[in-house]
A and B are shown apart, each in its own frame.
Chain A
Amino acid sequence: MNALKKYLGIIWLLLAPAVIYFLIDRAIVHIDPAGKKDINNPVIWVIIIGIFTPIAIGLMIFGWYALKNEYSHLPQSSSEVE
């Protein structure tokens, strides 16, 4: 199981930039000042990409920790967390 946890880390590392690429690509396709739908609104895309970028970076860090075997043993008490 620990090997699986470790190597899946690579997937999480790659998934994060893929999500951001997908969002930026969709924003370029759908932003349309003449459009009336939410997905045509540039402000919404700025908010969403702005909030998703740190989350995606979080997913990359999660993947990095997984690759470094940080999740092979989960803490049993708070003293292990700190």
Chain B
Amino acid sequence: MNETISPKTIRSVIAASSVGTMIEWYDFYIFGMLAKTISTQFFPEGNATAALLSTLAIFAAGFIVRPFGALLFGRLGDLVGRKYTFLLTLVLMGGSTFLIGLVPGYKSIGIAAPLLVLLLRLIQGLALGGEYGGAATYVAEHAPVGKRGYYTSWIQTTATLGLFVALAVIMLVKLNMADTSFNEEWGGWRYPFWISIVLVAISVYIRLKMQESPLFAKLKMEGGTSSNPLKESFSHKGNFKMVLLALFGAVMGQGVIWYTGQFYAQSFLETKCSIEFEQSRTIMLWAIAFATPFFLAFGWLSDKIGRKWIMMAGMLMGILTYRPIFNTFLKDSNIPNLLSDNPGAKSAENLELKTDSLVEQHALVTLKYQSAKWVLDDGTKFTELRTDTTRQGFDGFSSSKSPDKKPSFTNKHLSTSTYWKFVGLVFLLILYVTMVYGPIASFLVELFPTKIRYTSMSLPYHIGNGVFGGLVPFIGLLLTTTYPTDPLVGLWYPIGVAALCFVIGTIYLTNKIDKNVMD
């Protein structure tokens, strides 16, 4: 059947599915990227209820609601069809994103503000849980034999492109207005939410013109659809064991590689390396732009040599190189190292920020907070923040000065060569993402029969990505707090999960491509 579909139809199917899925990812990411501003507007500090709602909005949407969305919409997709289900998820996602942009702040409507935002965020998580499985299944069920990996890899580009668009839109808005205008109650941070409604309207228009998946339509016509996809997916041992194999042998490792390459890397550059806002964002943007075509390349390659070994190779590369790569980020942005490499370094501006005085035993202690802007020979710039202490004894004679031995360095602007080196290293991290993520849609589609495919593939995907991947920052923080002397200790979580998945995948998965997904 699939061989009869024209290339033009296939292109429209891919475009309609990919654009919609990309917009859903965009919608989901902007909330996380603007979390700091959102929390000041909706979840003010000092209010216990607001703090609880904030925690739920951030954690529950990703961890609990996404897998539930997978079950709810997966079931719907296997009962009524792929087309209408992923149309519904798109409308829900776009509508809730737009409405988040319209909710007045806590100052205006009190506790109703965080409650509304939480509700809308949960709808976002639910919709995202239902979207991906539908789009991947829809494209795979249109794809001819031998091209399933390549065609579905277009869907795989959407999560990264959604991140790219979200980064770019927020950066454009932020760079074109003052910080105060961006952060105020009805300020620029709302624009990315409002833009969503236009994107969604276009995508809904395109998707409405699409036909139902030919495999599902045939199955429905023949009366072969499942009457209870949830029961068939998870209570039949034959299928449930494949759901478990998909989760522990592929998606769990893919989830942590994905999050480490795209989110942990960005947060590491900003918080651990203290690289300035614009450079840390553009490093990600360049790396994503260079790496994205490799989703298609590895999807195409998986049609030739099988899915398994490409995904396993991506995990293995992550396991072996994460620590050296992140260590290079730390080393190359370390100011004492840079100062010793640039003997002609000069402090361009020295500002005294403020002075505090306090009385200790027999002495007046003065704390002098200073900032200095440095420019190095190679073009590196940074701000040094130091607190020097002076003790003046009450006897009038004894006094001592203690210069700050551990000044902090912020707002680092990297030299051109280091900047591009970092782009190259982040590119490598995202290349691993393309290896594990490019072929995974076709791998999952081929694992399950048509009548329960949407349900069966959606759940492991969202547990792997939402739970295992989404926990990368939290477990990273947990490990850093437990072992504070090692700044790279947070990487042991993704390395450990990827290693476990690599062992299970290597031993239990098959590399054979299932040519017939029509059964």
Contacts and interface: CB of A to CB of B under 8 A. Distances in A.
Contacts of B516: 77
B55 A81 contact: no
Given A30-B481, A82-B449, A66 B508 contact: yes
A5 B506 CA distance: 10
B242 A75 contact: yes
A81 B239 contact: yes
A44 interface: yes
A61 B64 contact: no
Contacts of A5: 507-508
Interface in A16-34: 26, 30
B88 interface: no
B64 A47 contact: yes
B236 interface: yes
Interface in B54-75: 55-56, 59-60, 63-64, 67
Contacts of B510: 74
A48 to B, nearest CB: 7
B63 A82 contact: no
A15 B252 CA distance: 15
Interface in A55-75: 55, 58-59, 61-62, 65-66, 70-71, 74-75
B508 A82 contact: no
A81 B242 contact: yes
B52 A43 contact: yes
A81 B449 contact: yes
A80 B447 CA distance: 11
Interface of B is mostly: helix
Interface string B504-519: 1001111010101001
Contacts of B55: 41, 43-44
Given A30-B481, A47-B64, A77 B241 contact: no
A52 B67 CA distance: 12
B466 to A, nearest CB: 9
Contacts of A70: 237, 241
B238 A81 contact: yes
A1 B64 CA distance: 36
B320 interface: no
Contacts of B474: 38-39, 44, 48
A41 B161 CA distance: 33
Interface string B242-257: 1011011000000000
A69 B118 CA distance: 45
B241 A51 contact: no
B63 A55 contact: no
B467 A55 contact: yes
Contacts of A41: 55
A58 B467 contact: no
B247 A1 contact: no
Interface of A: 1, 4-5, 8, 12, 15, 26, 30, 37-39, 41, 43-44, 47-48, 50-52, 55, 58-59, 61-62, 65-66, 70-71, 74-82
Q: What are the 7 A-B residue pairs with the smallest beta carbon separation, nearest first?
A: A78-B449, A78-B519, A62-B244, A81-B238, A65-B241, A43-B55, A51-B63
Given A5-B508, A37-B477, A77-B519, 10 more contacts: A38-B474, A43-B59, A44-B474, A48-B59, A48-B474, A70-B237, A70-B241, A81-B238, A81-B242, A81-B449
